Amino acid sequence: MRVIIKADYQQCSKWAADYVSYKINRSHPNSTHPFVLGLPTGSTPLGMYQELITQNKQGKVSFEHVATFNMDEYIGLPPEHPQSYHYFMKENFFKHINIQAKNIHLLNGMTRDYEKECNDYEAAIRKLGGVDLFIGGIGTDGHIAFNEPGSSLSSRTRIKTLRYDTIKSNARFFNGDITKVPHTTLTVGIGTIMDAAEVMIMATGRNKAEAIKHGIEGSISHMWPISILQMHQHGIIVCDEEAASMLAADTIKYFKEIENHAS
């Protein structure tokens, strides 16, 4: 696992965006072989999206042959709902870049047939040859996508009921009104994420420190879903000093030294 520790949110966002651009450019995608990105919502990736928009406008990266699969969507929120992830992605990323609408994939939270929707999503990923780079955030409890603690570490795309802490945390996006937060979601599974050729997890702020500690120094456990990244051949954690603040001093020194030697 690579662990990139940067000073602050802005530096993490820049590092992540540079890495995404580098991977896209290096793969020379075309219409038959697009570069496939897995994408998150939430506050963590916003800075990365802004930087990617800038780089796209500057001609440093093109999304013309990039296909995307978002991690999750609330059940019962239509795409035009301001808190739906369809809306989030359109407003914060897609409408600002040269991506083709046909290449954008999000789970449909308005479907009546959850099982079919989830199976079709997995099939669509497979049809494009799998995800090249899955980007995610983490919850304070170590969840990735909406795979809460206790989720099967080999889970696939499915319906998930959120735990109270996540609902409470996400109420900040619903004017603080907990009753407005949907309790169920469709989410890719941990196995779906782990199938990607590469997985990059971003974490910033002191409230992510415990999850980062368990993810990097703890044992693999379904109680801290992030810890499964230890089993990935190409896992990267990008975090700021605050999110790294519960790691042992030796751990921080070790990963910083490796990166210094690499650059």
Residues 73, 132, 141, 240: which is the catalytic one? 141
Q: Give the residue carrying structure tokens 């994939």.
A: 105
Among 122, 148, 195, 242, the one annotated catalytic:
148
Outline where DSSP puts E strands in 123-262. Answer: 133-136, 158-161, 184-187, 198-203, 235-240
Binding-site residue total for ligand PGA (CB under 6 A)?
7
Query: Contact with ligand PGA (CB under 6 A): which of 29, 137, 142, 235?
Result: 137
3-state SS class at 37: strand
Is residue 68 a contact residue for ligand PGA (CB under 6 A)?
no
Query: Which residue, 139 or 215, has its beta carbon nearer to ligand PGA?
Result: 139
CA-nearest of 52, 234, 74, 50 to 145 is 74
Take residue 132 and report the two structure tokens written for it: 């090249």
Determine, following the binding rule CB under 6 A, whether residue 211 of this chain makes contact with ligand PGA.
no
Residues 5-44 that bind ligand PGA (CB under 6 A): 42-44
The CA distance from 56 to 47, in Å, is 14
Asked if 148 is an active-site residue, the reply is yes
- Residue 148: CB minimum distance to ligand PGA, A: 10
User: Is 141 a catalytic site residue?
Assistant: yes
Query: What contacts 4, CB < 8 A, 6 or more positions away?
Result: 12, 15, 236, 237, 238, 239, 255, 259
Is 143 considered catalytic here? Answer: yes
- Residue of 51, 65, 72, 214 marked active site: 72
In angstroms, what is the minimal distance from the CB of 16 to ligand PGA? 12
| Residues within the interface to ligand PGA (CB under 6 A) | 42-44, 137-139, 143
Active site residues: 72, 141, 143, 148
